[in-house]
Amino acid sequence: MNLVIFGPPGAGKGTQSSFIAKKFNLYQLSTGELLRNEIKNNTKLGKKISSIINSGNLVSNELVDGLIEKYISDRTYQNKIIFDGYPRNLIQAQNLNDLLNKYNQKIHFALRLTVSLDTIIKRIKERSTLEKREDDSEEIAIKRYKTYEKNIKSVIDFYKQSNLLKVINGEASIIEINSEISALIESI
Ligand code: AMP
């Protein structure tokens, strides 16, 4: 099964994806993580995108679309992918569908984690220095939240129309969310 998980930055989609990946033997494909690795490894691409990411904006569709095809086309990951942080806008959602079609796959459902901006800011303040990322300041968090909100509406409609959307209350505890998502997957 392939699934999409999305929510504002700081909603816990990374934590949830990694939990589901382990439990159901799926592969967590986080575009944010792939991009951060490019920056960490100081690659040519990394140098190009670091200021965009650190300012809370999105990198170009072409760039992320290119990154994910490598995984969709690889038989190791076939029908086993959790798309974490992708798609972020309508163009990416359509591209993901096209790519999956090309490799005879599909999305089984799209999970939307809902969390308020107040909660996100509270969580960032509680994160210890060790866990902090470079794009983790309160000001950047607000910018990332706004960028997310602006772009995600059309993605929500896209999955709603295809009857694939499941909304999860991301304000609940990590364990509660874990069980809700597990129950959903087990019902498929
Ligand atoms: P994330 O870890 O998902 O919060 O992503 C961190 C940052 O990487 C985002 O703020 C964007 O700058 C960039 N990014 C991650 N995924 C995407 C995507 N699907 N499209 C464009 N930019 C992305």
> Which residues on neighbouring strands pair with residue 27, listed in sequence order?
81
Q: What is the pLDDT of residues 134-176, one digit of tens each?
A: 666 888 889 989 999 999 999 999 999 999 999 999 999 999 9
Please give the model's pTM, rounded to 2 decimal places. 0.92
CA-to-CA dists, residue 159 to 33, 152, 162, 167, angstroms: 24, 11, 5, 11
- The hierarchical CATH code for the domain 3-186 is 3.40.50.300
Is the CB of residue 13 below 6 angstroms from any atom belonging to ligand 1? no
Residue 169 carries which DSSP code?
E
Q: What is the mean pLDDT of residues 32-47?
A: 94
CB of residue 9 inside a 6 A radius of ligand 1? yes
17 CB near ligand 1 (under 6 Å): no
Give the closest residue (by CA) to ligand 1 atom 6. Answer: 32
